[in-house]
Structures are given as structure tokens and as C-alpha cells.
Structure 1
Amino acid sequence: MKYNKRKRLFLVLAIIWMIMIFGFSSRNGDLSGEDSGRVGRLVGEWFVPGFDEWSEVKQNAFVDKVDFPVRKTAHATEYAVLGTLIFGATYEIQRKKRYIVGIPWLCGTIYAATDEIHQLFVPGRSGQVRDVLIDSCGAFIGVMLVTWMISRREKKESTK
């Protein structure tokens, strides 16, 4: 009974996360650019010594320079979370490893592809095959991370 509750909880969380991804993807190009610009500015403030003393022009140039990595890191991260949540919704202890990894990764990849198609209809946005690949890698990393954590826990428990 406890096992089914866990799977249902992860399924609900995965659906909520997918809705959040859809919401971010629905923002037009200008709003999306503002979002990544704010994150780029935070990166500068947190990690670049003296960033606050730079001129506005130099700060904006930095924000423009880190825009691409910020956006792609966001893609990979949001899909790593999605892959982890789908893993939790589909994980069965007795299932073969390839299914444990493959099903959540495939679901995350399919969702990434549909999300990029959705962006074709959002003003100022575009659907990119590259983003599907980045999202797919993010989902895979999330799934592999949680698989690694479970195997570590199982090894630790078996040595007790």
C-alpha cells in the first residue's frame, strides 16, 4: 500500500512539474529573455568579484554573454528534475535496470519534444532540436543520479 502511495505522489509531482515547464514555455520571447537576464545578473552578483562596481554597460555585456549557458542549464536542470519525478512514479524494485532507466528517460524526452513543438506557437519563441537533446540529457542525468543513489543505499543496507 505504501508503495502505491509513493508512486501516486511522484506521478502528481511529475504532472505539476510538467505544468510548470509548460507555463515557462508559454511565456513569449521577451518575457523569457527577461527571466534569463535576471538569472544572468544574479550569476554576476554571486560569482564575479566586483560585479556591482562595473558599469551598467559592462554588466549588461556580461549578462548577454552568459545568457546562452544560463538558458541551456535551465533546460537541463528542469528536465533532470522531471526525469527524477517520473522515475519515482515508475520505479519498481524487481524491474530490469534498462526499464528502470529507459521508461522515465523516454517519457522526459517525449515531453521535451512536445514542449519544443508547443514553443513554435509562442510569439518570439522557437522549437529547437538542440533543446530537445539538452532536455533529454537532463532527464537522463536525473534518472541516473537517482538510480545511483538507490544502488548506494542498497549496498549500504546489504553490508549491515
Structure 2
Amino acid sequence: MRNRILRWVPASLVMILIFSFSAADGEDSGSTSGVIVEQILKIVEGNRPMAPEKREEMFDRLQFVVRKGAHMTEYAILALALLLAFSQYWRPVWPLAWRGELACFLYACTDELHQRLVPGRSGRFQDVLIDSAGALAGILVGIGILSYIRKKHGNTVGRVRTP
């Protein structure tokens, strides 16, 4: 029983992390990604600073990529954590996949609704699709790992045994 509960801990922690990121107001959220973008621009510029207009344009483009990449990454991690939790209930790989994707999609929907309530933030269905794409990538990686482990160690891996 304890092992069954422990399998839900990683997914719960990732959901709490996503919720806390979404609770940050627009200014805080933008400044977090802005720090990362500034570091990238310093590397790109090297010893040759860009013209201010070009730097601002590149900053905006990079910030979009960093923010959406973060969305995809956090949902890929959530999908992997959900696969771990769900693997105790379903044996075949594909039921794990579609249940994991559905759970991530639904959580992304609630996350975007939550963001609509945060000052300076907006909820967009486009972000739900980006989150779902990240979840799909995580699920494909997770299924590949799980399939490899099950082939190598037999079909009993990934299943909680009840006494």
C-alpha cells in the first residue's frame, strides 16, 4: 500500500510546482524568463554588442521560445511522473499513454483557467496545446524506457505487487 502511495508523490510535486509557477503574476513570470534570456543574449553577443533594436527583437523572440520550452518541459516531466503512478494500474503500454496524455491535457486546462485569475497573466488554449505536446514527448520517452525495461527484465516490471 505504501508503495502505491509513493508512486503518486512525484506527480503531485510536479503539479504543485506548475501551480506555483502559474500563481506568479505577469511581472514575476516575465522577469524569471527574462533572466535566462539575458544570459543567452550575453553568450550570443560575446564581445560584439548588438544594436538596441535588434537586441530587443531578439530578446522578445528568445523569451517566447524560453517560456514555451519551459511549458513543454514541465509537462513532459509531469507526464513521466504520471506514467510512474499509472503503471501500477494498467499493464499494456498504450492505455498508460492515452491516460497520461489525457491527465496532462486536463491539468493544462485547469492551469490555464488558474492563470486567468492571476494579475498580468492570461489563459490561452494555445498554451494547453503546447503543454500537451510536451506531455506527449514525455510519454513517448517514458514508454520507450518502460518498454525497454519490461523487455529486459520481464513483463512484471512497473507493477506493484499486492501480498
TM surpasses 0.5: yes
Contact 1:113–1:132, Cα closer than 8 Å, also in 2: yes
Structure 1 equivalent of residue 19 of structure 2: 22
Taking the aligned partners of 1:65 and 1:140, their CA distance within structure 2 comes to: 24
5+ residue gaps, structure 1, are none
Cα root mean square deviation, aligned: 2.2
Which residue is equivalent to 2:39? Answer: 42
Tell me the distance in 1 between the aligned counterparts of 2:51 and 2:27. 20
Please state how far the C-alpha of 1:135 moved relative to its aligned partner.
Answer: 0.6
- Counting matched residue pairs gives 153
- C-alpha separation in 1, matches of 2:89 and 2:42: 44
| TM, length-normalised to structure 1 | 0.84
1:74 aligned partner, one-letter code: A
TM-score, with length taken from structure 2? 0.82
CA distance in structure 1 between the aligned counterparts of 2:6 and 2:42, rounded to whole angstroms:
37
Change (3 A) 1:96 1:150: closer
TM-superposed CA distance for 1:56, in Å, is 8.3
Counterpart contact for 1:29–1:125, Cα < 8 Å? yes
Instruction: Name the stretch that deviates more: 57-66 or 36-45.
Output: 57-66
| Alpha-carbon distance between aligned partners in 1 of 2:90 and 2:22, rounded to the nearest angstrom | 36
> Does structure 2 retain, via aligned residues, the 8 Å contact 1:41–1:63?
yes
CA deviations over 1:88-122 (Å, ceiling 9, x no partner): 11114862332111112111110000000011111
Gaps spanning 5+ residues in structure 2: where? 155-163
Aligned to 2:46: 51
Identity %, equivalent residues: 37
Q: Distance in 2 between matches of 1:24 and 1:56?
A: 33
Aligned residue number for residue 10 of structure 1: 7
Q: How far does residue 139 in structure 1 lie from its aligned partner after superposition?
A: 1.1
